[in-house]
Amino acid sequence: AQSVTQLGSHVSVSEGALVLLRCNYSSSVPPYLFWYVQYPNQGLQLLLKYTSAATLVKGINDFEAEFKKSETSFHLTKPSAHMSDAAEYFCAVSFASGNTPLVFGKGTRLSVIA
């Protein structure tokens, strides 16, 4: 069965510093991978997704993620953190075949310090 592990339930960075949120997946078939962001008291919105095209995926607000099959990873990065990036981030996995719903990681809360 597929699963997603997000390393670190809480990450804190200074404004202007690199953001790195880690995600590893477990899958026996090629996955589709997603990053979602949740701002306080809101629903989730898509940041970016990998669907077997380019391994480096660019999303909204200068976020990007790289699919590394050998490491079964899909880490999310942003070169320079902004205060408005403070939110909870979720990695998720699904598959091409059938209609298996997304499986989410437990989330990483990002704090940005001025």
Partner 1 sequence: NAGVTQTPKFQVLKTGQSMTLQCAQDMNHNSMYWYRQDPGMGLRLIYYSASEGTTDKGEVPNGYNVSRLNKREFSLRLESAAPSQTSVYFCASSGQGGGNTIYFGEGSWLTVV
Residues in contact with partner 1 by CB under 8 A are 9, 32, 34, 36, 41-46, 49, 51-52, 90, 94-107
**Between residues 22 and 49, which has the closer beta carbon with respect to partner 1?**
49
Residue number with CB closer to partner 1 (96 or 113): 96
DSSP 8-state code for residue 18: P
Label residues 28-56 b or e (16+ Cβ within 10 Å = b). eeebbbbbbbeeeeeebeebbbbeeeeee
The SS3 assignment for 9 reads: coil
CB of 17 to partner 1, least distance (A): 25
* CB of 25 or CB of 36, closer to partner 1: 36
